[in-house]
Amino acid sequence: MFFGGMPGGMPGGFPGGGGGMGGPPKNVDTEKLYETLGVKKDASKKDIRKAYMKLSRTHHPDKGGDEHKFKEISAAYEILSDAEKRTQYDKYGLEGVSGDDVGAAGGEDLFSMFFGGGRSRGGPRKAPSISHPLKVSLEDLYNGKTVKLAVNRKVIVGDSSECSDCHGRGSVMEMRQVGPGMIAQSQRPCHSCDGKGYHATFKKERKVLEVLIEKGMKDGERIKFSGMSDEVPKMEPGDIVFVVQEKDHGLFKRKGADLLAVKEVSLNQALCGFTWKIKHLDARDLVIKSKPGEIIKPEMNTKDALPFVKKLPGEGMPSKGNPFVKGDLYVMFRVKFPDTLPENVVSELRKLLPEPDETVEYDPMEVEEVHLTSADVRSFGKGGVNSVGSEAHESDDEDDGGRPVQCQQS
């Protein structure tokens, strides 16, 4: 019954000669499939079929065989029994036949099937990219800049060769009997090549990269140099990626394209006006001046207690890609009140400022006159006798109850 799915009659052939493959690559494995079927490289079609029939019988999962091994055998037969695929395999190895029409693999990638690991179909694998943090000042993100950075990359000297012990996998499978009729397979790094899968000599190469920091770039943005990372045999080199890290600025905080500066003003400045000279990120001096009669308040409104802010439209950061569109510059105010005022100042202010204290009629001999003391709002709710030492264990004296007396309603 399982022969029904035999690959001999698979429709379709090798897809178009391997798409842009320029000549037979070096060090390609063209033996593995023959080894899998236990036949010689020059075996006849008949010998291959015979070997396959024998092996598939012993390794069929229904008869207690290993499923993976069975799939390998089936895939090997599928390729070697097809004259066209066999020719491609002899020339290019598995890469030459890893088309989608190889059915016996049951959806598994041929490479991972025979060699483990994940080689994506079509084109060489790409080596991992390396990313470097790149600290950039807010000034440079505002104005844009080109930074020259030297990197040391590893390049291959001469030819590299695939490790013959692990066939380039970097790891080998170890079989171990764990019980009667039970075999456990485990992977360990290949000792002969230190898990790299190849033997090669490298040298360091110094390369100067020009990193363009565009106006308006943001923290976390990536600047990529394709293929500039270390060379790895049989792989496309990875990228070097610089990740922008915005440095803290002494005056401005940034959110998107907007900037925020905090300004502390005295009560006098808050009421009577202020003049504030700042240096902008493009080194321009800006004098921020309040308009006549303009008041700076401690808070936006008393209900939400939002900070009091004003803004300079268009004085924020340039937008990346369109530096002419800029964000806004927000100024958040903190009003510094005096701790006390001399009596003569108070009497003058009382006359000058709107809404002075109203006269309240009362007899000081009959009504208690009180003053406030300093307090912290975080202590609110902690008053009363129960708060004293509430964190420590109270005495276990149960005689007098010790609990707060509940209000009895009648």
Nearer to Zn ion, 48 or 193 (CB): 193
SS3 category, 182: strand
SS3 category, 284: coil
Q: Please state the closest distance from residue 169 (CB atom) to Zn ion, in A.
A: 7
Nearer to Zn ion, 131 or 171 (CB): 171
Cα 53 to chain centroid distance, Å, stands at 51
What is the rounded distance in angstroms from the CA atom of residue 216 to the CA atom of residue 319?
Answer: 5
Output the CA–CA distances (angstroms, integers) from residue 195 to 109, 155, 188, 397, in the order listed.
21, 19, 9, 71
- Which two three-digit tokens encode residue 7? 């690959």
Q: Does 166 bind Zn ion (CB under 5 A)?
A: yes
User: Are the C-beta atoms of 341 and 270 separated by less than 8 Å?
Assistant: no
Among 185, 186, 192, 387, binds Zn ion (CB under 5 A): 192
Nearer to Zn ion, 163 or 329 (CB): 163
Nearer to Zn ion, 39 or 166 (CB): 166
Q: Please state the closest distance from residue 225 (CB atom) to Zn ion, in A.
A: 30
Q: Please state the closest distance from residue 250 (CB atom) to Zn ion, in A.
A: 54
The two beta strands, 130-136 and 240-246, are parallel
Q: Does 200 bind Zn ion (CB under 5 A)?
A: no
User: Are the C-beta atoms of 173 and 186 separated by less than 8 Å?
Assistant: yes
Q: Does 322 bind Zn ion (CB under 5 A)?
A: no
- Exposure of 376 by Cβ count < 10 A (0-12 exposed, 13-18 middle, 19+ buried)? exposed
Q: Please state the closest distance from residue 163 (CB atom) to Zn ion, in A.
A: 3
Instruction: Find the part of the chain contacting Zn ion (CB under 5 A) among 3-11, 26-34, 127-135, 193-201.
Output: 193-201
SS3 category, 271: helix
Q: Please state the closest distance from residue 175 (CB atom) to Zn ion, in A.
A: 18
Helices (H), 281-394: 343-352
Instruction: Find the part of the chain contacting Zn ion (CB under 5 A) among 92-100, 162-170, 220-228, 314-322.
Output: 162-170
- Helices 83-92 and 67-80: crossing angle in degrees, nearest 10, is 100
Report how many residues bind Zn ion under the rule CB under 5 A. Answer: 6
Q: Does 165 bind Zn ion (CB under 5 A)?
A: yes
Among 134, 163, 259, 271, binds Zn ion (CB under 5 A): 163
Q: Does 335 bind Zn ion (CB under 5 A)?
A: no
Contact residues toward Zn ion (CB under 5 A) are 163, 165-166, 190, 192-193
